[in-house]
Homo-oligomer: A and B are copies of this chain.
Amino acid sequence: MTDDVTQRVADWWATSVSRVEPGVIELRGLPIQELLGGTSLTEAAWLLLRGERPTARQVQLLDAALVGSVDHGPHAPSIAVARMAATCGVGLNNAIASGVNVMGDVHGGAGQQCLELYSELLDGAGDDPDLTAATRATVARWRERSKYLPGFGHRFHPRDPRRDPLLGLVRRAVDDGVVEGRFLAAGLAVEAAIAPVPMNIDGATAVIYGELGFPAPLARGLFVLGRTVGVLAHAWEEMREGRRIKGPIPPEIRPTYRP
**Residues of chain A having any CB pair with chain B under 8 Å:** 1-2, 4-27, 29, 31-33, 35-37, 39-42, 44-45, 48-49, 59-60, 63-64, 66-68, 70-77, 80-81, 83-85, 87-94, 96-98, 100-109, 155-159, 161-162, 164-166, 168-169, 217-218, 220-222, 224-226, 228-230, 232-237, 239, 244-251, 253-259
Contact = CB atoms under 8 A, between A and B. Distances in A.
Given A22-B158, A77-B84, A255-B74, A229 B41 contact: yes
Nearest to A31: B161
A77 B87 contact: yes
Contacts of A245: 77, 106-107
Copies in the complex: 4
B161 A33 contact: yes
B96 A248 contact: no
A162 B36 contact: yes
Given A33-B161, A88-B105, 20 more contacts: A2-B4, A5-B5, A17-B71, A17-B233, A20-B73, A20-B75, A32-B68, A37-B60, A37-B64, A40-B41, A42-B42, A44-B70, A48-B229, A48-B232, A77-B85, A90-B93, A97-B98, A224-B228, A228-B228, A248-B249
